[in-house]
Amino acid sequence: MKFYKRFSVWLFIAVIAVIVTACSNNASNDKNGSSVGEKTTENNENKENIQDKEKIVNVGVTDTFRSVNPLLQDGTEVVKYATSLVFLPLVELNQDLEFEGQLASSITTEDNKNFIIKLKDNITWSDGQPITSKDVLYTFLCWASPEIGSTGMSIEKIAGTGEDGYVEPGAKEISGVIALDEKTVQITTKFEMALYSFQNIFGRYILILPEHILGDIPMDDLLTHEWFNAPSVVSGPYFIKDFDLNHYVHFEANENYYLGAPKIKKLNFNVVTASQLLTGLRSGEIDLVQQTMGAILQEDYDTIRELENITVFDGTPITNQSIFINTERIPEIKVRQALLYGIDRQTIFQDILKGKGEVVDGFLASAGPFYDESLTPTEYDPDKAADLLDEAAAEGWDRTTQYTFYVNSGDTTFVQIASFIAAQLAEIGINLQVNTVDISTLLSVAGNGEFDIMAVQYTYAPVDPYTDISWLLSKGGWTRYDRKEVSEALAKTQITSDVEEIKKQYLIVDTYVQQEVPMISAYIISALGAKNNRLQNAVPDVYGTFLNVHEWDIAN
């Protein structure tokens, strides 16, 4: 019989938290004077009076910005929202998980291959020029241009692009993207694609650019062109006025926004540490924390709920604290299974999340339409984990192997949990070296496959899990995982609108993930959002927070 030390996750994390807190900064400053730190009551009152007069709103975020160029979308929420406040997408998800038109009045298809995009009639750029099909064609061409060399956004799925998603150098069009008239675009895909996937990939993440402003700039200059640092013509509610990618992005209202001039004239995204969110909310220096951009520490939830100047919002429980395994560097299935059996997820969930959220296996959360509750989460079983490692060692696995475990330094709560996980796995014979890095470094390491294990909060769009899962569970994705049955099941989700059939196929996918463990869901988060009571008409949630940002206001 094997014996294992048992100890409280909170006791372990409390010790780590002291170290982390002692090393964190006490303040984060930006040039508008938005700082988080110790202030006198008088200074705070003066600051709030100035903010009321100028209608300034500060949003606290805990990840840095890789870029503010919309052609460098990296999948992070901070970049997504920072850029889409300036350049609108075709559609966006609202709080009810429905696609809501931004530039598009509708996106339809009759055959899941030819998609018709109808642009709204009343949309204009900030300089008064109408937004037309030319802008859509130009933007898609930018993404497919080898001179720009952008990756992602699944452009390779569009007819007229190569397997790498690029057109020929110097091309002036994509054959699969054509204008039917000034306000109508048809996009043809190489194979069948569900409407929800098309809307999520191309509708939400490709931000439409002004062809009449950028069209004469050489393609190979666009990624580094200074115009994107302070765009002079925008479609969204705000202009970018100033930024420091490690500290802030400052926005100024677009008075010609087609839905009406924003009431908040200055909006700031300020980068702070997770521990500073509580301080900033309490002092009034942070007005809003949105669940996917600002990771409030779990231990601060109760305190924030009690703040008289703050209203809190429990986010839709769909954000997955995912642990991805590079299956090329850990090819032994039994070792990966031991990782799953060796982590006490229920204790972490109860002690840290206080039961807010859920524990699942695979990718899907119960809030989504394709979740199947018949897949029972794997229970913590260190004896089983140790037996699996014994079997792996007998088959040639080297017990002395040390694995790198990369964690997002901006997610302070999980940094602490990662140390607890490493300690638990050490007891069964798995040696992890925890490396905490900023989100940009983490994504770079993930993309290059320079990790054994990595963890990051990942929000799989409940209405479109296919987009992320089909990439992540592939040779080119983070897991480097390849399974024919998984690929076939995912493909079948794209050729039917029958929810029960789609659920059946995703159950196949999640079952293989549970059995072969290319990733582990540590837990699903019902993250906390918060706003200052002086801020009106704002409701932070996982989706839809900024759809009505032009209607936000400051209470008199």
Whole-angstrom distance, CA of residue 191 vs CA of residue 158 = 9
How far is CA 252 from each of CA 48, 124, 127, 259, 502, rounded to the nearest angstrom?
A: 19, 18, 15, 16, 43
Dihedral sign, CA of 502, 506, 508, 509? positive
Backbone angles phi, psi at 188, to 5 degrees: -110, 130
Q: Which residues contact 110 (CB under 8 A, 6 or more apart)?
A: none
Measured distance between the N- and C-terminal CA atoms of the chain, rounded to whole angstroms: 68
Dihedral sign, CA of 491, 495, 499, 504? negative
Predicted confidence at residue 15, as pLDDT, reads 41
β-bridge partners, 248: 244, 270
Kindly report, residue by residue over 225-258, the tens digit of the pLDDT: 999 999 999 999 999 999 999 999 999 999 999 9
CB–CB of 475/487 below 8 Å?
A: no
Whole-angstrom distance, CA of residue 303 vs CA of residue 411 = 19
273 pLDDT band, cuts 50/70/90, is very high
**Assigned token pair, 206:** 């490709």
**Assigned token pair, 30:** 């930006």
| DSSP SS3 for 75 | coil
In the sheet that holds 184-188, the strands lie side by side as 104-109, 114-119, 184-188, 177-181
Share the mean pLDDT of the chain: 90
For 178, the enclosing helix (H) or strand (E) is: strand 177-181
Predicted confidence at residue 525, as pLDDT, reads 86
Q: Tokens 């115009």, residue? A: 227
Q: Does residue 101 surpass a pLDDT of 80? A: yes
pLDDT mean over 51-57: 73
Sorted by where each begins, the domain ranges of the chain are 40-69+236-315+528-554, 87-226, 317-525
Which of 235, 265, 238 lies closest to 127, judged by CA? 235
- Report the chain's C-alpha Rg in angstroms: 24
Whole-angstrom distance, CA of residue 198 vs CA of residue 71 = 18
Q: Does residue 316 surpass a pLDDT of 50? A: yes
Q: Do domains 40-69+236-315+528-554 and 317-525 have the same CATH topology?
A: no
Whole-angstrom distance, CA of residue 135 vs CA of residue 200 = 19
Residue 331's Cβ-side half-sphere holds a number of Cα atoms within 13 Å equal to: 7
Q: Which CATH architecture has domain 87-226?
A: Alpha-Beta Complex (3.90)
360 pLDDT band, cuts 50/70/90, is very high
Residue 215's Cβ-side half-sphere holds a number of Cα atoms within 13 Å equal to: 11
Q: Around Cβ 474, how many Cβ atoms within 10 Å?
A: 17
76 pLDDT band, cuts 50/70/90, is confident
pLDDT mean over 329-340: 98
Q: Does residue 9 surpass a pLDDT of 60? A: no
Q: Where are the beta strands (DSSP E) in 182-318?
A: 184-188, 238-244, 248-253, 266-271, 288-289, 310-314
Which of 417, 263, 446 lies closest to 348, judged by CA? 417
22 pLDDT band, cuts 50/70/90, is very low
Backbone angles phi, psi at 57, to 5 degrees: -125, 130
Structural fold of domain 40-69+236-315+528-554? D-Maltodextrin-Binding Protein; domain 2 (3.40.190)
Q: Which residues contact 224 (CB under 8 A, 6 or more apart)?
A: none
Q: Which residues contact 43 (CB under 8 A, 6 or more apart)?
A: none
Kindly report, residue by residue over 505-533, the tens digit of the pLDDT: 999 999 999 999 999 999 998 889 999 99
Q: Does residue 382 surpass a pLDDT of 80? A: yes
Whole-angstrom distance, CA of residue 331 vs CA of residue 396 = 12
Predicted confidence at residue 411, as pLDDT, reads 84
Q: pLDDT exceeding 90 applies to what percent of the chain?
A: 78
Predicted confidence at residue 53, as pLDDT, reads 56
Predicted confidence at residue 218, as pLDDT, reads 95
Predicted confidence at residue 75, as pLDDT, reads 75
312 pLDDT band, cuts 50/70/90, is very high
Q: What is the pTM of this model?
A: 0.77
Q: Around Cβ 494, how many Cβ atoms within 10 Å?
A: 20
Predicted confidence at residue 509, as pLDDT, reads 97
Predicted confidence at residue 27, as pLDDT, reads 37
499 pLDDT band, cuts 50/70/90, is confident
Whether CATH 3.40.50.360 fits 317-525: no
Long-range pairs, 420-425, Cβ under 8 A, ≥24? 420/9, 420/12, 420/13, 420/16, 420/348, 421/343, 421/348, 421/522, 423/12, 424/342, 424/343, 424/344, 424/382, 425/339, 425/342, 425/343
How far is CA 500 from each of CA 96, 369, 439, 497, 510, rounded to the nearest angstrom?
A: 20, 9, 36, 9, 15
